[in-house]
Structure 1
Amino acid sequence: MTAGFNTRIWTYFCGFLALSGISACQQAGKPGKADSLAMRAAFAESPVLTAQQSLETFRLENGFTAQVVAAEPQVIVPVAMTFDHRGRMWVAEMTGYMPDTAGTGEDAPNGKIVILEDTNGDGTADTRTVFLDSLVLPRALAIINNGLLVAEPPRLWFVEIINDKPGRKTLVDSGYTEGGNVEHQPNGLLRAMDNWIYSAKSSKRYRFEKGKWKKEDTHFRGQWGITQDDQGRLYYNNNSENLLGDYFSPGLGSHNPNQRRVEGFDENIVPDNRTYPIRPTPGVNRGYMKGVLDDSLRLVNFTAACGPVIYRDPLFGEGFNGNAFVAEPSANLIKRNVLRDSGYFVRGKQAYAGREFLASTDERFRPVNLSLGPDGALYILDMYRGIIQHKTYLTPYLKKEIGMRELSDPLNCGRIYRIFPTGAKPVAFQLKADPASLIAALDHQNGWIRDKAQQMLVDAQQQAVVPQLRARLGQPGIGRIHAMWALEGLHAITAADLLPLLDTSDAALCRQALSVLPSILNKTNAAQLRARLAVAATSAQTAPAVAYILPAFAKSDAPGAQTLLAAIWQRFPDSKIVADAVIGNAHNKEQALLTAITQWNPDTNLVVRRRLEKVLVDISNHRKARLDEALIKEYPRGNLLFKTICQTCHGADGEGIQSLAPPLNHSELVTGKKERLIAIVLYGLTGPVQVNGKLYKSPEINGDMPGIASNDEFSDSDIAQLMSFIRNAWSNKAEKVTEREVQAVRKQYKGRQKSFTMEELK
């Protein structure tokens, strides 16, 4: 059916507010000065609706239809999903998440991985097969060859698939989710175009190669959900930022762990974080704070952005291909963003002013993940529940909201919807395993199908397809890039294959070829490639990518790499992106590079020089910031709490994480007055925040740090240990905090819910 407002509910709402002198119909599109008491009265209850009833509360973009694909009992609390080559859905069910506001029983082994299938082609799943059960909070999955990767904190498993039943189980990573709570642990498991598997909230990537699992470091990315575009660039977000992403292929990027920030990665793609709910949304964790809700009690900016997806199919019509859709479960909506390339830069904006692609009046509609289907439809995973905030940061205000509208129950719901143009009849394309069909599918109009065809070719590891892939590589079109990466995955790509693609007249294709080069560089082909790299190094569009691959090139031709590197920083000394790519080559040789740059040009304002000097300062600070083992032994509970609630945003080294949080190391807020730090930890802090002479504010960091005063899981002794630990970790040195001092601050601010601001703390 075509989704629209539930007419009965909306008519009642308009009539109710009309009695209060408020035009509800005016309020629908754009929040105004509505009477918040009347708004609360109109939505005083949040009844549990059937999937079909909830569907009728959707306000969806004109010309589109929403359909229920699956609902309880077929699917329960879905949080992640992937399709197999037959179009079946493999779904992770996080059944144990937050059974109540205290999280009682959250460690119960009741999570599952299920297979949902539509056997009659009507778009609705009619069979459910449990593949794995007895899991504790499973959060991500990915199909690889003949098995399934499953993230079950803290471990990452690979489970063989034998006739839809689990076979041998292999531990891929015992520390996939090191530290953190449920909201702040790695997830996603996106099998990207470059044949590596990436996660959000993580700086690790994985690959199955020659019978073994490989693990490497990569850029830290996002919080919940990760996706890619047609160029294989990754996109993600955090809870308060609409869309972040990279300008380059994920295999590129810094090889220098001394760099804390690398330009061109973790970029703010869509800076506009406004949201436009169509119902009051007081049930957000910081709803009592000024500016979080507007006068009509609707969320102003993202507070739970998650599950982004790049839509890669023509089904939706002109202007939609390449758009980024983002879920916001706390505001019951789906955001649409329009992205545009400008060289290697990606810029984006919200598709609409004052409205959303999809919004609902059902408070329990909780979209947490989005997927492009093999049928071209947009799939929505709806946890369908009241509580979405994890207990670690749950405020008394939100606990009250949950109680007022009885949002704790039920716990056995869940829905999957798909969105498609009205009148369309999307049918899933089923991939055949024969090589000819898979190679043809590399040019399919649907991005998911292209990706899957490449993956199946790589998984099969059949060298017989190499000539066909090489022939496809010589022809233009989107399939060329997939053919190139398929050859890379088969270990069959050669310098001769890539040389024609290193033509800077097609900069995007050249950057793709440069991304592949590290996998085939050797002393035999280095001389052949050097001249072509020298040409690419003169173009602003490709020079950063050349600089990024030079560490690999240096293994075969160190003098040649140094010559190319110098040519790049001398040609582009005032480009931040080039500067950071250059510094990526100088791991533990930063001072020598600075000397060379200074001798070439003594100008202290050169961007490459200033960026390099910043890295040298960071190195100096980091050397002083080694954690003392004696400190960990003295404050074991403090160390554990730091890993659980602080590390995932502030970093293991206490130096902060881009887009999330400022440093704890060298922070006067940490080492200054104990009472101030205790107040911040208990009740939270709202930015902007001044740390060590620098002002941190949104979107550079998350604008709000929640407190833990209302979390019964942590005793005052635990909290005192946590603060004593961070006050003496890294380069910090300050007096320890006692349990009695924590209790004194609690007493002083008894009943407080509101986060502190810097002005208050002064």
Structure 2
Amino acid sequence: MKKLLYPVITVLLTAVLFHCQTNKPKGSFPKVTAQEGAGQPVDVRMDRDHSPVIPAAESMRYMQVEDGFAVQLVAAEPLVNTPVALSFDSKGRLWVVEMQGYMPDTLATGEERPTGKIVILTDTNGDGVADNRTVFLDSLVLPRAICLIEDGILVAEPPNLWYYEIRNDKPGRRTLVDPKYTEGGNVEHQPNGLLRAMDNWIYSANATKRYRRKGDTWLIEKTHNRGQWGISQDNVGRLYYNDNSINLLGDYFMPGVGATNKNQRGVPGFSERIVTDNRVYPARPTPGVNRGYMQGVLDDSLRLTTFTAACGPVVYRGELFGSSYTGNVFVAEPSANLIKRNILDERGYVTQGKQAYQGREFLSSRDERFRPVSLYNGPDGALYVVDMYRGIIQHKTYLTTYLKGEIARRDLTLPLACGRIYKVVPKNKTLRRVTLPDQPEALVSLLSHPNGWVRDMAQQQLVDGKFTQVIPALRRLTNETHNLLPALHAFWTLEGLGALTTDDVVVFARQPAWPLRMQALSLLPALLNQTTYAAYLPVLEQLVAQSDTLAAPYAAFAAQALRAVQPATADRLVLNLARTYADNRFVAGAIVSTLEGREEAFQQKLTAELPNTTMAIHSQLNRVITGSRNARGNRDPQALTRAFPKGAALFSSSCQTCHGADGNGIKALAPPLNQSQWVTGDKDKLIAIVLFGLTGPVDVNGHVYKAPEINGDMPGIGYNKELANEDIAQLLSFIRRSWRNNADRISTEEVAAVRQRLKDRQKAFTVAELNGL
């Protein structure tokens, strides 16, 4: 930290705060003072042409929150500035990521400047409100996530993932964990989250890698791609996430299995749509959304109808709200200034959910600058809300002309140095601050705490402290299987300490309670080797013989590790599973995940025993085999990158996240570019799509793609005037000649001609409009 600059920065922030508090157009809002009852609806006239900055204490008066709850302020400017993520340490302090460089204006002027920070916010007098700010790190470029682990902190600063040792709240030695934490993508489409999950691995949203520290070494493994912004876990360690237009996605299975076949595009049971209802109910008109010009995006009252910026989901795991809220998932929607509540229903390993309310939200605000972007469980059981509090939240890559006009209409660009953190609490309940003790035995007792945050932190402190002296106490806790959650945490704490034995796993794998069996079975692929297979194989065989439908996918996931030591035994196990569960898509997907490079050979064996090729196992095998054959015929990506360097870079930053590196599209996001007639066909139509976007449904090679199979709207990139015609021409030439596409190039002049002809266009195309060009 640059100590000499801190007094100057403090003065500047104070000046900005004064601007935040006084930059209020006269007549836009009546004066409202903070008083008891904050959070109740305020009967004021909202002027669509004005969106003033409202001081935090007053902004809470514009919030409508569920009956019986209240919103309390934790921190506000100048103590915090443009917060996007946070983490609590063992003392209950807030470590906050400040992305101060994000979109200073509609052109993102100076976005690359090193203005980001990691700050520590402390409540020194115990009143629940932070009153002290310490800058831990500064001079960061668009930082996006942190994770406290052992004696340090992971910091995601694209493209790098760093680890800093912490010494008296100051950064010590820095280690580069991953120079490619983000590969391509723009600010809206880069990994984030850094969730330290129950299985002791660290997961990110919008990423295919997970991380773990072992001694001084950082392990990096492949995992499933998950969501866009924000990631959370439930009480048994399964992950939840979403993308901007989808309320809630998640995994039916534990996160450490199934991501082992590079030829398999999507494993059933992962990235499942948990809540299908994407309707939102803003408390105010919300014309300032990127596609507000499109029919159906806004209703007759100019309110957003469905999610357009869903993010920051969190599974509520505290005890403060009451049992009816435990396991509910809250989702932020900053474009509509609200937080949604979803109620989940678990049946076997399948989890589905519904919105808690129709026609209203858990929390909504009539302050347009209220931008909830991340949600968290707190040490006190409260729901914590990170409010970026600013006007512009759409990145320039996809910023439409329409939204630029809305930003100008209500002067949403400035100020930039605001930000708030709130917590939602039940009324008439006493909040108790929880700090973690130093004594290992006391930490073991906290594995039974009713608050999931406390259990997680106790587990992490035991693992980080390498407190092997508590192993006997942990093992006793695993034997108390009637206390489900403490037993789960004790099991994974033993794993984190390297003390989990084969007997421990076998005992858990035979428990009648499914969540206990699930933990053990999820570990088998990592534990099964030449030494242990003799102990684990009878467990797998027994599960299959008993037709344990819940365990069957996990038995299939374990077959790959078994094949490394007993190939013939693994093949018999998989064939037995295939015969028994031939039309179960989850078992089929798990089987295929273990067959990389062996899919066609297995299909021949399977067809001999199961000639009915309409079964799920055959369908999934056919898709993987076809994709693998196509990949072998793809063009050389390195040669194409050399031929179209700007195009390859632009594809990576703007297209790859939704369409996939292989061009085959991504579930719930976008259709294929590979062998698409829209890519290889009429040049002018392709140029128009990329410049201004496309609203579905859209037919690609005989298959009609529409929501929810894909996001119904593809944003254009032509609204960015800084994007040169040459760069767009290279991008289009790159995708027209990538993978199995073999179309001719597009020239700079061709792009310029279409751009000039359509220069007045301000909305995305439909297929009908494209066909009329």
| TM norm. shorter chain > 0.5 | yes
For residues 227 and 456 of structure 2, the distance between their equivalents in structure 1, rounded to whole angstroms, comes to: 22
- Residue identity opposite 2:669 in structure 1: L
Cα offset for 1:102? 0.3
For residues 398 and 423 of structure 2, the distance between their equivalents in structure 1, rounded to whole angstroms, comes to: 32
Alpha-carbon contact 2:525-2:557 (below 8 Å) kept: no
Is 2:526 aligned against 1:519? yes
The aligned residue for residue 318 of structure 1 is: 323
Residue of 581, 586, 595 corresponding to 2:604: 595
Cα offset for 1:533? 1.1
The aligned residue for residue 127 of structure 2 is: 122
For residues 12 and 462 of structure 1, the distance between their equivalents in structure 2, rounded to whole angstroms, comes to: 59
For residues 261 and 334 of structure 1, the distance between their equivalents in structure 2, rounded to whole angstroms, comes to: 29
Deviations 1:281-329 (A, max 9, x none): 0000000000100000000000000000000012112310000000000
The aligned residue for residue 3 of structure 2 is: none
Residue of 361, 375, 382 corresponding to 1:356: 361
For residues 222 and 333 of structure 1, the distance between their equivalents in structure 2, rounded to whole angstroms, comes to: 20
Cα offset for 1:11? 4.4
TM-score of the aligned structures, taking structure 1 as reference length: 0.95
SS in 2 for 1:207: strand
The aligned residue for residue 707 of structure 1 is: 716
- Residue identity opposite 1:156 in structure 2: L
Residue of 467, 474, 483 corresponding to 2:472: 467
For residues 303 and 628 of structure 1, the distance between their equivalents in structure 2, rounded to whole angstroms, comes to: 33
- Residue identity opposite 1:186 in structure 2: P
For residues 480 and 560 of structure 2, the distance between their equivalents in structure 1, rounded to whole angstroms, comes to: 30
The aligned residue for residue 82 of structure 1 is: 87
SS in 1 for 2:163: strand
The aligned residue for residue 556 of structure 2 is: 547
SS in 2 for 1:546: helix
Deviations 1:68-108 (A, max 9, x none): 10000000000010001111110000001000000001011
Give the aligned length. 732
For residues 44 and 454 of structure 1, the distance between their equivalents in structure 2, rounded to whole angstroms, comes to: 51
The aligned residue for residue 580 of structure 1 is: 589
For residues 126 and 638 of structure 1, the distance between their equivalents in structure 2, rounded to whole angstroms, comes to: 48
The aligned residue for residue 646 of structure 1 is: 655
For residues 616 and 604 of structure 1, the distance between their equivalents in structure 2, rounded to whole angstroms, comes to: 14
Alignment of structure 1 residues 301-450 onto 2, 5 Å: 301-450=306-455
Cα offset for 1:3? 3.1
For residues 205 and 252 of structure 1, the distance between their equivalents in structure 2, rounded to whole angstroms, comes to: 12
Alpha-carbon contact 1:381-1:416 (below 8 Å) kept: yes
The aligned residue for residue 298 of structure 2 is: 293
The aligned residue for residue 536 of structure 1 is: 543
Residue of 726, 747, 750 corresponding to 2:759: 750
Structure 1 residues 426 and 466: alpha-carbon distance in aligned structure 2, compared to 1, 3 A threshold: same
The aligned residue for residue 26 of structure 1 is: none
Is 2:8 aligned against 1:3? no
For residues 436 and 678 of structure 1, the distance between their equivalents in structure 2, rounded to whole angstroms, comes to: 65
Residue of 161, 173, 178 corresponding to 1:173: 178
The aligned residue for residue 667 of structure 1 is: 676
- Residue identity opposite 1:4 in structure 2: G
Cα offset for 1:340? 1.2
SS in 1 for 2:611: coil
The aligned residue for residue 110 of structure 1 is: 115
Among all aligned residue pairs of Structure 1 and Structure 2, give the percentage whose two residues are the same amino acid.
Answer: 56
- Residue identity opposite 1:513 in structure 2: A
TM-score of the aligned structures, taking structure 2 as reference length: 0.93
Residue of 138, 141, 159 corresponding to 2:146: 141
SS in 2 for 1:523: coil
RMSD: 1.2
For residues 164 and 628 of structure 1, the distance between their equivalents in structure 2, rounded to whole angstroms, comes to: 45
For residues 677 and 646 of structure 2, the distance between their equivalents in structure 1, rounded to whole angstroms, comes to: 23
Cα offset for 1:458? 1.1
The aligned residue for residue 685 of structure 1 is: 694
Alpha-carbon contact 2:257-2:525 (below 8 Å) kept: no
Cα offset for 1:518? 3.1
Cα offset for 1:665? 0.9
Residue of 637, 642, 649 corresponding to 2:646: 637
- Residue identity opposite 1:223 in structure 2: Q
Cα offset for 1:278? 0.9
Residue of 530, 551, 556 corresponding to 2:565: 556
The aligned residue for residue 60 of structure 2 is: 55
For residues 232 and 627 of structure 1, the distance between their equivalents in structure 2, rounded to whole angstroms, comes to: 40
The aligned residue for residue 25 of structure 1 is: none
Alpha-carbon contact 2:231-2:241 (below 8 Å) kept: yes
Is 2:619 aligned against 1:604? no
Alpha-carbon contact 1:77-1:95 (below 8 Å) kept: yes
Residue of 502, 507, 514 corresponding to 1:500: 507
For residues 431 and 438 of structure 2, the distance between their equivalents in structure 1, rounded to whole angstroms, comes to: 22
For residues 272 and 341 of structure 2, the distance between their equivalents in structure 1, rounded to whole angstroms, comes to: 18
For residues 520 and 617 of structure 2, the distance between their equivalents in structure 1, rounded to whole angstroms, comes to: 26
Structure 1 residues 671 and 401: alpha-carbon distance in aligned structure 2, compared to 1, 3 A threshold: same
Is 2:748 aligned against 1:739? yes
For residues 589 and 504 of structure 1, the distance between their equivalents in structure 2, rounded to whole angstroms, comes to: 34
Which structure 1 residue ranges, 5 or more long, are not aligned? 14-41
Structure 1 residues 504 and 696: alpha-carbon distance in aligned structure 2, compared to 1, 3 A threshold: farther
The aligned residue for residue 242 of structure 1 is: 247
SS in 2 for 1:319: helix
- Residue identity opposite 2:137 in structure 1: L
Is 2:95 aligned against 1:99? no
For residues 323 and 316 of structure 1, the distance between their equivalents in structure 2, rounded to whole angstroms, comes to: 10
For residues 639 and 522 of structure 1, the distance between their equivalents in structure 2, rounded to whole angstroms, comes to: 42
Alpha-carbon contact 2:320-2:381 (below 8 Å) kept: yes
For residues 480 and 214 of structure 2, the distance between their equivalents in structure 1, rounded to whole angstroms, comes to: 28
Alpha-carbon contact 2:39-2:71 (below 8 Å) kept: no
Residue of 448, 458, 470 corresponding to 1:453: 458
- Residue identity opposite 2:377 in structure 1: L
- Residue identity opposite 1:444 in structure 2: H
The aligned residue for residue 486 of structure 1 is: 493
Alpha-carbon contact 1:378-1:419 (below 8 Å) kept: yes
- Residue identity opposite 1:470 in structure 2: R
- Residue identity opposite 2:582 in structure 1: P
The aligned residue for residue 224 of structure 1 is: 229
Which moves more between the two structures, 176-185 or 468-477? 468-477
SS in 2 for 1:202: coil
For residues 481 and 709 of structure 1, the distance between their equivalents in structure 2, rounded to whole angstroms, comes to: 51
Deviations 1:406-450 (A, max 9, x none): 000000000000000011221221111211111111111011111
Alpha-carbon contact 2:665-2:671 (below 8 Å) kept: yes
- Residue identity opposite 1:432 in structure 2: P
Cα offset for 1:2? 3.5
Cα offset for 1:12? 4.1
The aligned residue for residue 18 of structure 1 is: none
- Residue identity opposite 1:143 in structure 2: L
Cα offset for 1:490? 1.2
For residues 314 and 730 of structure 2, the distance between their equivalents in structure 1, rounded to whole angstroms, comes to: 41
For residues 93 and 422 of structure 2, the distance between their equivalents in structure 1, rounded to whole angstroms, comes to: 14
For residues 129 and 524 of structure 2, the distance between their equivalents in structure 1, rounded to whole angstroms, comes to: 44
Alpha-carbon contact 1:2-1:64 (below 8 Å) kept: no
For residues 409 and 697 of structure 1, the distance between their equivalents in structure 2, rounded to whole angstroms, comes to: 37
Residue of 152, 160, 173 corresponding to 1:155: 160
Cα offset for 1:555? 2.7
Cα offset for 1:5? 4.4
Which moves more between the two structures, 366-375 or 513-522? 513-522
Alpha-carbon contact 1:305-1:327 (below 8 Å) kept: yes
SS in 1 for 2:242: strand
For residues 322 and 367 of structure 2, the distance between their equivalents in structure 1, rounded to whole angstroms, comes to: 28
